[in-house]
């Protein structure tokens, strides 16, 4: 439960400043939070960003579209497929390229595999934050199977550059399809084991229940999306709100939990693992034949002048690319709106009056990727 900070009752009481980071292990990257503490309670928390800022948006302006494509998997390196999807999506929208159905299905399968592997990293690391070491080993064991599958298909294990303007760079083979089906079969009992091992654990539940409430209204005012807004009971998912690719073909649920606490955000991601498996299974069942690249996509793309947006549901929430073109072979302006930045922006307000260890549990439940904030 959030307790009222003693400071709010006794103004003028002595406080001290505590620097969390820039390299605290619980922040998985180089994030710094300047905390004003009253004993163990947070009076004020101010995230200090930019330690690994790379000016990706400038790189988007001084490269051609194809040259910038590999950068998109290095923003949120755990959602590389989805981020590449948004960038090829906005270019395809501007150039009016029709992507063949088989390529769209491959994109959905690989994006959902990527979502599962991202959630598995979060699951392991989050429990590590809370003091449980073993779950990480289980998570990475299962994640390894996804990385092997995607490595066989794309040649990369993390920073995939597999999607192309108009499709994907090569067709899937029999071993990928067989392996993906085997993974779905393998993963379902593992999810049950995760529930038995961790989710049902009373110590774990007491650590998260009622901790770090983030209401739907707060999500709206800060633009928080993904499992954060769904853990506040709002079924907002870009795959439904702005349907793209082949997602309208599949039957899946948007898991929501109305409790608004850290446990709700945990439960949302656990349920999403199951939904991603469902989507992959349906895509494999109805996998269409045909080409995996659109015909006649020029090697050097020049987009018509204009202002174009494309949003995807990445593992952490809404990722939006805004591309302003002036008719040349590279973007005049490329804006990357990343979910981690918006999700972290509410931390200062949401963490007020919390105990420090509770605030860290809440930060873990936001699933931050720091290069996604700093870009």
Partner 1 sequence: MSGDIPSEKASLDGPAVPDGGPALRPNPLAHLPIPFQVVDYAERGVHLDASVAPDQVVAVAGELDKSGFAIDTITGVDWLAEGQMEVVYDFFHPTQRLRVAVRTRVPREHPEVPTISTVFPGANWHERETHDFFGIRFAGHPDLTPFLLPEDATYHPLRKDFNP
Contacts with partner 1, residue ranges (CB under 8 A): 49-50, 53, 55, 57-58, 61, 90, 93, 96, 216-217, 219-224, 229, 234-236, 240-244, 247-248, 306-311, 318, 320, 322, 324, 332-333, 335, 337, 341-342, 345-346, 349, 374-375
The least distance separating partner 1 from the CB of residue 357, rounded to whole angstroms, comes to 26
Check: CB of residue 46 under 8 Å from CB of residue 32.
Answer: no
Q: Which tokens hold the place of 52? A: 């690994």
Coil, strand or helix: which one is 19?
A: strand
Which conformational region is residue 308 in: left (phi greater than 0), alpha (psi within -120 to 50 degrees), or beta?
beta
Give the number of residues written for the chain. 375
Q: Which tokens hold the place of 339? A: 């979910």
Inter-CA distances, 306 with 72, 164, 297, Å: 21, 21, 19
CB closer to partner 1 out of 173 and 349: 349
The least distance separating partner 1 from the CB of residue 15, rounded to whole angstroms, comes to 19
Burial 166-199 (b: 16+ CB within 10 A, else e): bbbeeebeeebeebbeebbeebeebbeebeeebe
Point out which residues pair with 77 in neighbouring strands: none
CB closer to partner 1 out of 57 and 274: 57
CB closer to partner 1 out of 293 and 373: 373
The least distance separating partner 1 from the CB of residue 247, rounded to whole angstroms, comes to 7
Cα–Cα nearest to 367, from 231, 210, 178: 231
CB closer to partner 1 out of 130 and 301: 301
Distance CA 122, CA 156 (A): 20
CB closer to partner 1 out of 233 and 291: 233
CB closer to partner 1 out of 135 and 167: 167
The least distance separating partner 1 from the CB of residue 43, rounded to whole angstroms, comes to 17
The least distance separating partner 1 from the CB of residue 38, rounded to whole angstroms, comes to 22
Is it true that the peptide bond before 22 is cis, omega within 30 degrees of 0?
A: yes
Distance CA 332, CA 305 (A): 9
The least distance separating partner 1 from the CB of residue 244, rounded to whole angstroms, comes to 7
Helix (H) or strand (E) holding 163: strand 163-164
CB closer to partner 1 out of 126 and 308: 308
Distance CA 179, CA 131 (A): 33
Beta strands in the chain (DSSP E): 16-20, 32-38, 41-48, 163-164, 167-168, 306-314, 317-325, 333-337
The least distance separating partner 1 from the CB of residue 68, rounded to whole angstroms, comes to 15
The least distance separating partner 1 from the CB of residue 89, rounded to whole angstroms, comes to 9
CB closer to partner 1 out of 24 and 322: 322
Cα–Cα nearest to 329, from 63, 58, 59: 63
């Amino acid at each position: 439960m959030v307790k009222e900070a003693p400071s709010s009752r006794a103004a003028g009481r002595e406080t001290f400043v505590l620097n969390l980071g820039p390299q605290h292990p619980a922040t998985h990257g180089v994030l710094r939070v300047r905390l004003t503490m009253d004993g163990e309670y947070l009076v004020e928390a101010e995230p200090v960003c930019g330690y690994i800022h790379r000016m990706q948006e400038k790189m988007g302006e001084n490269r051609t579209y194809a040259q910038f494509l590999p950068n998109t998997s290095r923003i949120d390196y755990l959602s590389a497929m989805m981020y590449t999807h948004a960038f090829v999506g906005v270019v395809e929208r501007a150039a009016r390229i029709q992507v063949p159905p088989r390529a769209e299905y491959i994109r959905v399968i690989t994006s959902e595999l990527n979502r599962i592997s991202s959630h598995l990293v979060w699951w392991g690391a989050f429990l590590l934050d809370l003091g449980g070491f073993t779950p990480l080993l289980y998570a990475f064991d299962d994640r390894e199977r996804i990385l092997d599958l995607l490595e066989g298909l794309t040649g990369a294990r993390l920073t995939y550059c597999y999607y192309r303007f108009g499709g994907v760079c090569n067709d899937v083979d029999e071993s990928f399809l067989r392996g993906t089906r085997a993974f779905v079969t393998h993963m379902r009992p593992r999810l049950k084991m995760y529930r038995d091992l961790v989710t049902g654990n009373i110590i774990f539940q007491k650590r998260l229940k009622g901790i770090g409430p983030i209401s739907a209204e707060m999500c709206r005012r800060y633009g928080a999306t993904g499992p954060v807004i769904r853990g506040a009971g709002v079924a907002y998912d870009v795959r439904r709100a702005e349907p793209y690719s082949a997602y309208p073909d599949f039957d899946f649920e948007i898991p929501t939990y109305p409790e608004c606490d850290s446990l709700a955000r945990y439960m949302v991601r656990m349920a999403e693992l199951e939904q991603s498996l469902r989507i992959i299974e349906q895509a494999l069942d109805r996998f269409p034949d045909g080409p995996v690249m659109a015909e006649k996509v020029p090697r050097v793309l020049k987009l018509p002048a204009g202002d174009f947006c494309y949003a995807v549901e990445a593992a952490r929430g809404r990722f939006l690319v805004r591309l302003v073109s002036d008719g040349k072979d590279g973007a005049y302006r490329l804006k990357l709106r990343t979910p981690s930045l918006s999700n972290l922006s509410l931390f200062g307000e949401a963490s007020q009056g919390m105990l420090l260890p509770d605030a860290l549990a809440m930060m873990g439940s936001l699933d931050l990727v720091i290069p996604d904030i700093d870009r």
